[in-house]
Amino acid sequence: MLDDVAAIAKVAASSVDDIATAAAKAGSKTAMVAIDDAAVTPKYVVGFSADRELPIIWKIARGSLFNKLVVLLPAALLLASFAPGLIQPLLMLGGAYLCFEGAEKVYHAWAPHGDYEAEPSGQGHDPAHLEETKVSGAVKTDFILSAEIMAIALSTVAGGSLWAQTATLALIGVGMTALVYGGVAVLVKLDDIGLHLARTARWAATRRFGTGLVWFMPVLMQVLSVVGTAAMLWVGGSIVLHGLEVTHVWAAPYLAIHHLAEAAGQAVPAAAGFVAWAVGAMLDGVLGLAIGLVLIPLATKVLGPALQRLKGARPAQ
């Protein structure tokens, strides 16, 4: 009996190791989407008092967990069981959305324009209502990015047992949420920490460090915004191009980038892996930007107005 118990324990430990390995592999593939999520979220606490920042982030994090574990995880498992052929097209659709979002940010920086849907008047006069509106908007944005994270994770663990897929997706969902919103919570409070140090620290060096932290935070947030946009374009472009190759629709762009990246890596043997990755990511990002720019008029002139009509609202002029 003890031998049987030991054998069962060994199998269970092996399963846990397999799930952890799969989660780590899937997590590495979803890292850039998580970076973008972390870069986008801080804007939702701008304009609120310092004591409301962490409660707002906690509300968004709870919404993100609901998105991942209650809505997206069962949907992903149902797709994997009954319609596995839809996983890749849905993944490509999410990649196209990332391309659009990244390209829209680049286009907005190059030619500033108003947001398509203006905030309803009167919200800014009621802080509680404004907070709920901001949280709702953040959770909706998180849903898209969470769907992309879960789809990428599912594509990594496809073919495993139902138990392994469920456990891996749940681990990815909880881990990514904790990583993203834990990081965001630290980011939004760093300036408060710096201000506290600048005002109350005993030593001059500590006060100067606090002042420098306050000065540095806007720069860091700007850098994160740029990194998040680049990550959107890179990940979105890579997903779309890889999907076109996998589905045998148009393999040429993916193969061309792969060969160019390999050639670039071979030209610099001392850093072949890094150079190949950098060239591949750059080219994926360039094509992701091109895809997104093509999608902007479709989204803003056709799909956006259509959705507004369905919701019974008019687009902002």
For the segment 92-113, the average pLDDT, to the nearest whole number, is 85
pLDDT at residue 2 tops 60: no
| Residue 260 pLDDT | 95
Tokens of 194: 């710096």
For the segment 179-195, the average pLDDT, to the nearest whole number, is 87
pLDDT at residue 15 tops 70: no
177 within a domain of the structure (yes/no): yes
Q: How many domains does the chain have?
A: 1
Q: How confident is the model at residue 32 (pLDDT cuts 50, 70, 90)?
A: low
For the segment 273-287, the average pLDDT, to the nearest whole number, is 93
221 within a domain of the structure (yes/no): yes
Q: How confident is the model at residue 122 (pLDDT cuts 50, 70, 90)?
A: very low
77 within a domain of the structure (yes/no): yes
6-15, 49-58, 113-122, 266-275 — which one is most confidently predicted on average?
A: 266-275
Q: How confident is the model at residue 125 (pLDDT cuts 50, 70, 90)?
A: low
Tokens of 313: 């609202």
Question: How many Å apart are CA 198 and CA 220, to the nearest integer?
Answer: 19
232 within a domain of the structure (yes/no): yes
Question: How many Å apart are CA 277 and CA 270, to the nearest integer?
Answer: 14
Longest dimension (CA), the chain: 75
20 within a domain of the structure (yes/no): yes
| Residue 3 pLDDT | 54
317 within a domain of the structure (yes/no): no
Question: How many Å apart are CA 197 and CA 160, to the nearest integer?
Answer: 51
| Residue 20 pLDDT | 54
273 within a domain of the structure (yes/no): yes
| Residue 209 pLDDT | 93
Burial, 128: exposed, middle or buried (Cβ in 10 Å; 0-12, 13-18, 19+)?
exposed
Counting residues of the chain whose pLDDT is more than 90, the rounded percentage is: 26
- Range in 8-22, 128-142, 194-208, 287-301 the model is least confident about: 8-22
| Residue 130 pLDDT | 84
| Residue 40 pLDDT | 65
262 within a domain of the structure (yes/no): yes
Q: How confident is the model at residue 248 (pLDDT cuts 50, 70, 90)?
A: confident
Q: Which domain holds residue 274?
A: 2-311
3 vs 5, higher pLDDT: 3
Question: How many Å apart are CA 102 and CA 99, to the nearest integer?
Answer: 5
Token look-up 């700007």 returns 222
Tokens of 147: 């769907």
pLDDT at residue 35 tops 90: no
Question: How many Å apart are CA 284 and CA 230, to the nearest integer?
Answer: 10
